[in-house]
Amino acid sequence: MNYLDRFKVQPGTEVKLKDIDPSFKDRHDGRKEAAEEIEHYRKKLWDLQELLYADGRRSLLICLQAMDGGGKDGTINHVLGAMNPQGCRVAAFKQPTAEELAHDFLWRVHPAAPRRGAVAIFNRSHYEDVLVVRVHNLVEKTVWSRRYDRINAFEKELAEDDTHILKFYLHISKEEQLRRFKDRLDDPAKQWKISESDYKERRFWDQYMAAYEEALSRCSTEQAPWFIVPSDHKWFRNLAVSRIVVEHLERMNMKFPSSALDLDRIRKEYHAAKQQGSNR
């Protein structure tokens, strides 16, 4: 089965994250065995992004969500970093500013959507407003509970304007998260990533799982599907995300546009210039 279907949350299904193994790694035993396949899909990403840009009729929006330490930055660096940065932009949605809080929760998101021919990657996204907002009771339930339908309508609007949407939940275990936090403590190059809130938020793990389950269940649609990617193994996460993006892009039936120039005339001029050069 292709990864596009294998890890997709089918619309209308109820997600139970405890039933999904975050350490799943398919047929490969480890990073070394998967290295060739990972590189294969990275190269295909480069070629397909160029085709997306040349085709110019559609755009691609990739949303990344995960618990702290889940690998959002790593996915961008190791997988989506294979794309040409001229046609790929990353938007990070952190704690809203005072100006953003003065508007509706989608106000800050729409301007970051990709133009035609381009890719936009959301490092966190509009889903924070049904995740952290819900877990910490930042607004009333009557407010955040209406946002699922508004998110679906927003994504439908983007899709109808030829934006393809792929949403990834990078699924790690609570134990793997703690191991990654320890790696940050032990590595001077990673210590800047540590915050006290990382450990405090672990107390709300079950509440976050419930919030994610509802978001994944209610907001995986045909035009904007969710994919749950087992991410305890970073190398498998990289392989799965890149493969899903490639499989989707390949289904878009993109084409290089035909040239508006008189190519036969240009070829003749080229051969004439080449002949003149050889006669000197």
Task: Look at residue 45 in the predicted model and tell me its pLDDT.
Answer: 96
Neighbours of 99 (CB within 10 A): 9
Alpha-carbon distances of 262 from 257, 259, 268, 273, rounded to whole Å: 14, 8, 10, 17
Closest Cα partner for 74 from 248, 236, 226, 202?
A: 236
As a whole number of angstroms, the distance between CA 133 and CA 179 comes to 26
Alpha helices in the chain (DSSP H): 3-6, 31-55, 72-78, 98-101, 132-135, 141-144, 147-160, 174-186, 196-201, 205-218, 234-250, 263-279
Q: What contacts 74, CB < 8 A, 6 or more positions away?
A: 234, 237, 238
Strands in the chain per DSSP E: 59-66, 88-92, 119-123, 163-171, 226-230
pLDDT tens per residue, range 57-71: 999 999 999 999 999
Return the residue matching tokens 């729409």: 110
pLDDT tens per residue, range 74-117: 999 988 889 998 899 999 999 999 999 999 999 999 999 999 99
Neighbours of 119 (CB within 10 A): 24
Q: Which domain holds residue 238?
A: 3-279
Structure confidence at residue 203 as a pLDDT band (50, 70, 90): very high
- Mean predicted lDDT score pLDDT of the chain: 93
**Could you tell me the CATH number of the domain that includes residue 191?**
3.40.50.300
Contact between residue 70 and residue 170 where contact means Cβ atoms under 8 Å apart: yes
pLDDT at 235 over 90: yes
Structure confidence at residue 278 as a pLDDT band (50, 70, 90): low
Average pLDDT over residues 39-46: 96
Query: Residue 167's beta-bridge partner residues?
Result: 63, 226
Q: Total domain count for the chain?
A: 1
As a whole number of angstroms, the distance between CA 228 and CA 15 comes to 10
Structure confidence at residue 231 as a pLDDT band (50, 70, 90): very high
Chain Cα centroid distance, residue 111: 17
Chain Cα centroid distance, residue 145: 24
pLDDT at 195 over 90: no
As a whole number of angstroms, the distance between CA 249 and CA 231 comes to 22
Measured at the CA of 91, the angle between CA 159 and CA 246, to 5 degrees, comes to 55
Closest Cα partner for 139 from 150, 128, 125?
A: 128
Report DSSP state, residue 20: S
Return the residue matching tokens 């305890």: 232
Contact between residue 90 and residue 123 where contact means Cβ atoms under 8 Å apart: yes
pLDDT tens per residue, range 90-102: 999 999 999 999 9
Average pLDDT over residues 144-171: 98
